[in-house]
Structure 1
Amino acid sequence: MKTDKLDKFLFQAMDAYPSYLEETVESLGYALSYDAKNTMALCLLGRLHAEQLYDYEGAKTYFEQALAENLHALEVYPYFIDTLLQNEDFDQAEKLIDFALTIKGCNKAEILLKKVSLLERKRAFTAAKEVLKEVKFNAYNSDLHYYISDTEKRLKEKIELSEGKKEKKAKAKKKKK
């Protein structure tokens, strides 16, 4: 019976998020009262803090609690990585990405896309393009194809932009001599 009620409130919270935040919070409260260590509830609470309240440190705490309960809580990794990237915790994000890729059942394409995002934020555009090739090998649905194409275009533009700046700097140095 306890599990039925937990699931009911968890599903209500998931259904309400992000459109009805008050209902989400209320349902999460009930779900966590039945099981304070439920990884799905903790993950959703972490998302709420990161995506709605921009409280990245609070979000990290909830994601860490969820993973402390179950390292195989696959639902946690994409959102935790996003939060780390938003908070510019790049070293921690890189370690989490590398670990997540070792977990059986993990959506490798999704996690590799997080790695592309990390590299892009670090302005390692060429390395990001290389990882994007690996994403293609691990993508098994058409929806992801459009996102990959857009990401490729964006990276190409950034590479061209950064190379253009290098050329301008080189020309400026030659003029000074």
Structure 2
Amino acid sequence: MSITLADQYYLKALDDYDYNFTEVLENLNYALSYDAEHAGANYLMGRVYMEQFQKFDIAESYFQLAMAADPENIQTCESLAWLMIRTKRFDDALRLIAYAVGLKGVIFPEWLRLKALIFELRKDYQLAKTLLHEAISESYDSNYIEFLEGELERIEKKERLLSHVQYHMA
């Protein structure tokens, strides 16, 4: 299997991501002109629209095209889940997470953390903390464990602040 022109342009765009968005967009447009169903190019174009332009509908369209071309692409699943979380489509995000954790090569604690975030945003702090504890027990990366412990601390701080506010309002 050889590298196609679409692959080459996608790799150039990926290399320039975070540094030169003019080049990124140009290379992605070239990649998609050679192969409109290129999973990587559609995924990265979705990220550009989500992260740089905050055009979530357009971003989702690109992520859906990427998923149709490669339904087992973990990066696309993760970015689409983040988009759903940012747009408060929590049930859709939970369904996507349930699908994604079954994919080969997935790093399970990262998905538990996303799930915990959803429950935190729904103000179900107990379930969020339970999921973070599970993520810690499943993790094998000391830095990530430290990050997850910080997430737990943040949620516990929120709980204390909210209970303090509720106490004074009663």
Taking structure 2 as the reference length, the TM-score comes to 0.91
**Which 4+ stretches in 1 moved above 6 angstroms?**
none
Residue 126 of structure 1 is matched in structure 2 by 126
1:61 positional shift: 1.0
Moved more, 74-83 or 3-12: 3-12
Unaligned runs of 5+ in 1: 173-177
Shift of 1:2: 6.8
Q: Mapping of 1:80-119 within 5 angstroms?
A: 80-119=80-119
Q: How many residues align?
A: 170
Aligned equivalents of 2:146, 2:40: Cα separation in 1? 28
AA at the equivalent of 1:101: V
Residue 28 of structure 1 contacts residue 45 of structure 1 at CA under 8 Å; is this kept in 2? yes
| Cα contact 2:43–2:63 (8 A) shared by 1 | yes
Deviation at 1:70, TM superposition (A): 2.0
One-letter amino acid matched to 2:99 = F
Match of 1:73 in 2: 73
Instruction: Give, in whole Å, the separation in 2 of the partners of 1:124 and 1:43.
Output: 31
Could you say what secondary structure the match of 1:18 adopts? coil
Equivalent runs, 1:36-55 vs 2, <5 Å: 36-55=36-55
Summarize deviations over 1:6-64 as a string: whole Å, max 9, x none.
33211110111122110000111121122211211111111000000000111111111
**Sequence identity percentage:** 28
Distance in 2, Cα, partners of 1:3 & 1:142: 37
Paired residues of 1:39 and 1:66 also in contact (CA < 8 A)? yes
CA distance in 2, matches of 1:13, 1:158: 40
Q: Distance in 1 between matches of 2:35 and 2:138?
A: 35
Q: What stretches of structure 2 of length at least 5 have no aligned partner? A: none
Q: Which has the larger radius of gyration?
A: 1
Match of 1:140 in 2: 140
RMSD (Å), alpha carbons: 1.7
Where 2:88 maps in the other structure, the secondary structure is: coil
1:175 is aligned to none
Q: Counterpart of 2:3 in 1: which secondary structure?
A: helix
